[in-house]
Amino acid sequence: MFEIVSKRELAPNIVEMKVNAPRVASSAQPGQFVIVRTDRTGERIPLTICDYDPEAGTVTIVTQSVGLSSQKINGMNPGEAFADFAGPLGCPSDLLELPEEELKSKKILFVAGGVGTAPVYPQVKWLASRGVKADVVIGAKTKDLFTYVEEMKSVGEVYLCTDDGSEGFHGMVTALMKDLIDNRGKRYDHCVIIGPMIMMKFAALTTKEYGIPTVVSLNALMVDGTGMCGACRVTVDGQTRFTCVEGPEFDGHKVDFDEAMRRQNMYRGNKKTDPETHKCKCNG
């Protein structure tokens, strides 16, 4: 059993938990994820690792209440325990593969939307530990929905934007990206985008305009997290790839986002109500 050590609400319906999982904490790397089950009949929920502490043996996850399973996770409290907390799974960020000198020479931009801020944080933190300070654009509909802003400011250069103008730049992340490049003299040679699928699509189109190599995270497509069910299939550069075993990060300029969004919508209405009768739509 994997005990919840602490819990806090980051924004309405968005909860952060630290979970006692020493083996996962000792081997986790930025970009990877875990599969969580609340109990033996619970649904398998993939969640990106947003921080880890090998010394304390804890792993931090952030969950947004959307369906019944995520609501059940967020309804748990410190002292309670998950039945399963499997990981780390997936491939680490490709930034970890770069030689240190090449890494330090890069101008890196991260773009985070919604709960995408949480999985962006460990990558920015990892870069900061190696002397690389990245720029981070964080977007939200309104200022009340921001998460991890102060944590991000401690490791990167943060630029906020809101759809309603309640804080920071008034507009979408794509408009702020263009403003940074066109009006503030910013130049980037690598970009990582994590957030809602539609945001990643248009942010990737924006970086393509400027010729900036771009990585996106497709963790929202996962179901079982092992590649067995096939629900995480995505087309990248005309080839079928499996998000949970070959990703979750892929070249953002080669992902077929329209297909990915259609696949994501297939599962949106399939909210689990009965653990014994739930069927995964794996052949869609």
Where in the chain is CATH 3.40.50.80?
98-266
Q: Give kind and range of the element (H or E) at residue 257.
A: helix 257-268
d(CA 36, CA 26): 18
Strands (DSSP E) found in 12-94: 14-20, 33-37, 45-53, 58-64, 81-82, 84-89
Where in the chain is CATH 2.40.30.10?
2-86
Name the one residue in this structure whose structure tokens are 């020493």: 22
Each residue's pLDDT expressed in tens, for the chain with a length of 284 residues = 799 999 999 988 899 999 999 999 999 999 898 989 998 888 888 888 999 999 999 999 998 888 888 889 999 999 999 999 988 988 899 899 888 888 989 999 999 998 889 889 999 999 999 999 999 999 999 999 999 999 999 999 999 999 999 999 999 999 999 999 999 999 999 999 999 889 999 999 999 999 999 999 887 656 655 656 666 778 888 888 877 777 788 888 998 888 888 876 765 554 443 333 333 333 33
Report, at the CATH architecture level, how domain 98-266 is classified: 3-Layer(aba) Sandwich (3.40)
Q: What is the CATH number of domain 2-86?
A: 2.40.30.10
